[in-house]
Amino acid sequence: MDEDEARERIASTAEDLYYRKGFSAVGMDEIRSSAGVSLRRLYALFPSKDAVITEVLARRHREWESGLSERVAATGDDARSRLLAVFDYLDGWFRDPAFRGCAFINAFGELGGTQSHVAEIVQDHKASFQRYMAGLVRAAGGSELLAAQLSILAEGAQSTAAIGNDPSAAQHARRAAEVLISHATANSESA
């Protein structure tokens, strides 16, 4: 196994283990064992658990952005539909049997108070999502306030779905988003 393959195997294994068991519960030895690499190889590629966590969160960020943007793009050019597609994406994710909540919220809850680097990564990820929503809202002719409201709905749905084991949180958030979007659209047309 070459270096790239080993790196991918370690990162993929760690991502799965962290997501299922939690960041604090999984040690380097479990990652090594599950990935089928030597401890020496693991530490040569990832010199610390923090390096593994950083890589896992970077992977999650790319997966999130890719999945979300693909879902939004698949709806076509209608700006309102693109905004609501965010909640449709969440609905599909929440219904995945492997869903265990947002990896970033999980990481922040476990490590954010003691590892400022992890807190920064999570904050950057969440800010990226807010910028993405703001772009969708601008394209729909909406305000910064609407973008913030829709972002909060999406974030709240993630927490509700995970903590309450309730995948319908995305549908509830989508209906609330429809009301907010309609209200914002009506106000902008009457202005």
What are 110-121's pLDDT values in tens digits?
998 889 999 999
- The confidence band for 188, taking pLDDT boundaries of 50, 70 and 90, is low
Q: Which amino acid is at 107?
A: A
Instruction: Give the span between the Cα atoms of 164 and 11, in whole angstroms.
Output: 29
CA 140 to chain CA mean position, Å: 23
The single-letter DSSP state of residue 25 is T
Q: Are residues 29 and 78 both part of a single domain?
A: no
Structural domains counted in the chain:
2
pLDDT at 191: 47
- Mean pLDDT in the chain? 94
The single-letter DSSP state of residue 5 is H
Overall size of the chain counted in residues: 191
Q: Are residues 32 and 85 both part of a single domain?
A: no
pLDDT at 162: 95
When pLDDT is averaged across residues 127-150 and rounded to a whole number, the result is 96
Q: Which residues contact 148 (CB under 8 A, 6 or more apart)?
A: 130
Asked if the structure places residue 55 within a domain, the reply is: no
Asked if the structure places residue 53 within a domain, the reply is: no
Q: Are residues 29 and 115 both part of a single domain?
A: no
pLDDT at 186: 74
Q: Are residues 38 and 74 both part of a single domain?
A: no
| Calculated CA dihedral for residues 102, 106, 112, 116, nearest 10 degrees | -50
Asked if the structure places residue 186 within a domain, the reply is: yes
Asked if the structure places residue 185 within a domain, the reply is: yes
Give the domain extent around 132. Answer: 60-190
**Residue entry with tokens 């283990």:** 17
pLDDT at 189: 54
Instruction: Give the span between the Cα atoms of 162 and 102, in whole angstroms.
Output: 8
Q: Are residues 69 and 160 both part of a single domain?
A: yes
pLDDT at 184: 87
pLDDT at 1: 81
Burial (CB < 10 A; 0-12, 13-18, 19+), residue 48, is exposed
Q: Are residues 38 and 64 both part of a single domain?
A: no
Instruction: Give the span between the Cα atoms of 150 and 137, in whole angstroms.
Output: 9
Instruction: Give the span between the Cα atoms of 89 and 170, in whole angstroms.
Output: 9
What are 34-92's pLDDT values in tens digits?
999 999 999 999 999 999 999 999 999 999 999 999 999 999 999 999 999 999 999 99
Query: Tell me, what CATH number does 3's domain have?
Result: 1.10.10.60
Instruction: Give the span between the Cα atoms of 148 and 91, in whole angstroms.
Output: 20
Q: Are residues 180 and 129 both part of a single domain?
A: yes
Question: pLDDT at residue 187 above 70?
Answer: no
Q: Are residues 125 and 99 both part of a single domain?
A: yes
Give backbone dihedrals phi and psi of 108, rounded to 5 degrees, phi first: -65, -40
Query: Tell me, what CATH number does 124's domain have?
Result: 1.10.357.10
Instruction: Give the span between the Cα atoms of 90 and 146, in whole angstroms.
Output: 18
Asked if the structure places residue 52 within a domain, the reply is: no
Asked if the structure places residue 54 within a domain, the reply is: no
The pTM score is: 0.91
